[in-house]
Amino acid sequence: MASQFSLFKHRRFSAMFFTQFLGAFNDNVFKQALILILTYVAAAKMGMEISLLNNLAALLFILPYFLFSALAGQIADKYEKSKLTQGVKLLEICIMALAAIGFWFELYWLLFVALFLMGTQSTFFGPIKYGYLPEAMRKDELVGANGLFQTGTSLAILTGMMAAGVLTQLDHSTLWLIVSTLFVAILGYIASRHLPKTTPQAKDLAINWNIFSTSFDIIKYLYSLPLLFFVIISNSWFWFYGATFLTQTPEFSKVILHGDESVVILLLTLFSMGTALGSLLCKTLTKNQVSLKLLPIGILGLSVFAIDLYLSLSSITIQAPSTPYGISALMDMDGTWRVFADLFFLGFAGGVYIVPMYAFMQAYAPVSHRSRVVGANNIFNAIFMVGSAVFSIIILTMLKLSLPQLFLITGVLNAIFGIFLYKKLKKYLNTMTPSNNDLPL
């Protein structure tokens, strides 16, 4: 059995991998740098609450997924995907040039506009890249390709956030930030130029430019295919779960572990590396087959390690220091290694869970509607991520429960919802067959 890394020898995979990796990296450099600037500089200058500005930034980035995902799916189904990708990457260069003006002249409203536009270009790229994979890969390559994509995304998010932290601390940080984001955007466009041409799957599709009716239409279509509907709900649950944990990471580090900024990076690294390893192992664990057999393992891991994280946090007491603890100080304390292990294995279980789900969605989506199905998936992902924020606010702010209790409740809900989803997927498994496309580009 060839290693999934052998896919990098093929332009049909490597060109899209590096295009999407650089895009995800740049998204997170820009977003994290903006959040840091809002937190430490802009809030005081504008006389506004930090939490308000940061939540506004999060809303502006996710809003395009609600508005444009269905339209993006139509366009990706109708037109040739390599040209679409190049167009999206050119748009990224223009947006980063706009952001450069905002950074240089401290025009925060312009940076918010750029953030919305970055969310928009990511919205249009999603159906292209996930619609491209099943066209470019053989069926026995699809799980491995998705594993590498998920690994790349996890590492791009992590390294992008870390790079933003470094760039904002440098002398002449604004200049470094501008040059870096523009350079990465240009590299992404160059990578997209190496994509092989694809065959449009719905040439005769009449684009419906009404973003509301087209969103309703694709969700209605999806609901008529219950297997795909529950696959997408399963995908979106992963984003609910991940957002619930990762959003709380800075507070978790500061309030419970009494750690400094380096501890936040450590926690994010553990989760991301776990996700990357779990994603990479999916090809071996499934023996290249698009199947549901890893789903129970992923569900079990996500619940067990969430509950154990609650137990491990409940069993340790860390005294608040005069200055926050660094990584080495925390590692010398009893019980902290268990906390770190729980976060790593939460990520691992997440990788094992999500990669087969993405492969399943791509393999079973009707070829003529594949990118629109991915667009619908993005709509539900956005809904579930907003739901995660509302859920966390209810638990932490309204009910006044603790972060460990939030993790416990999420783990228990995951077990209940996961079992429900698995039963639904098994029930409808034989109602569809994989799309017949086994010829790589």
Position 194 pLDDT exceeds 70: yes
What is the rounded distance in angstroms from the CA atom of residue 279 to the CA atom of residue 294?
11
More confident residue, 315 or 15: 15
Residue 287 DSSP SS3: coil
**pLDDT tens digits for 58-96?**
788 889 998 999 999 999 999 999 999 999 999 999 999
Domains of the chain: 1-195 (1.20.1250.20), 219-431 (1.20.1250.20)
User: What's residue 13's pLDDT?
Assistant: 92
**pLDDT tens digits for 318-345?**
888 888 888 899 998 988 999 999 999 9
Position 372 pLDDT exceeds 80: yes
Q: Provide the token pair at 341.
A: 């292990």
Q: Kindly indicate the confidence band of residue 436, based on its pLDDT and cuts at 50, 70 and 90.
A: low
Which run of H or of E encompasses 107? none
Closest CA to 124 of 174, 84, 157: 84
Q: Count CB-CB contacts under 10 A for residue 68.
A: 22
More confident residue, 317 or 311: 311
Write the CB contacts of 407 (distance below 8 Å, at least 6 apart in sequence): 245, 306, 309, 310, 313
Q: What is the pTM of this model?
A: 0.85
User: What's residue 438's pLDDT?
Assistant: 47
Q: Kindly indicate the confidence band of residue 38, based on its pLDDT and cuts at 50, 70 and 90.
A: confident
User: What's residue 162's pLDDT?
Assistant: 87
* 134, 437 Cβ separation under 8 angstroms: yes
User: Which ranges constitute the DSSP H helices of 208-332?
Assistant: 211-223, 226-247, 249-251, 261-286, 295-314, 327-331
Q: Provide the token pair at 429.
A: 């498994």
Mean pLDDT, rounded, for 208-214: 92
Q: Characterize 216-237 residue by residue with b for buried, 16 or more Cβ atoms within 10 angstroms of its Cβ, and e for exposed.
A: ebbbebbeebebbbbbbbbbbb
In terms of residues, how long is the chain?
441
Position 312 pLDDT exceeds 90: yes
User: What's residue 5's pLDDT?
Assistant: 84
User: What's residue 380's pLDDT?
Assistant: 94
Mean pLDDT, rounded, for 413-439: 85
**pLDDT tens digits for 240-275?**
999 888 878 877 888 888 888 788 888 888 998 999
Q: Give the CA diameter of the chain.
A: 67
What is the rounded distance in angstroms from the CA atom of residue 267 to the CA atom of residue 67?
33
User: What's residue 263's pLDDT?
Assistant: 85
Q: Kindly indicate the confidence band of residue 437, based on its pLDDT and cuts at 50, 70 and 90.
A: low
Q: Provide the token pair at 129.
A: 């890249």
Position 419 pLDDT exceeds 70: yes
User: How high does pLDDT run on average in the chain?
Assistant: 90
Position 441 pLDDT exceeds 50: no
What is the rounded distance in angstroms from the CA atom of residue 129 to the CA atom of residue 186?
18
Mean pLDDT, rounded, for 163-185: 93
More confident residue, 189 or 139: 189
User: What's residue 440's pLDDT?
Assistant: 45
Mean pLDDT, rounded, for 398-427: 95
Mean pLDDT, rounded, for 224-249: 91
Q: What percent of the chain has pLDDT over 90?
A: 53
* 354, 150 Cβ separation under 8 angstroms: yes
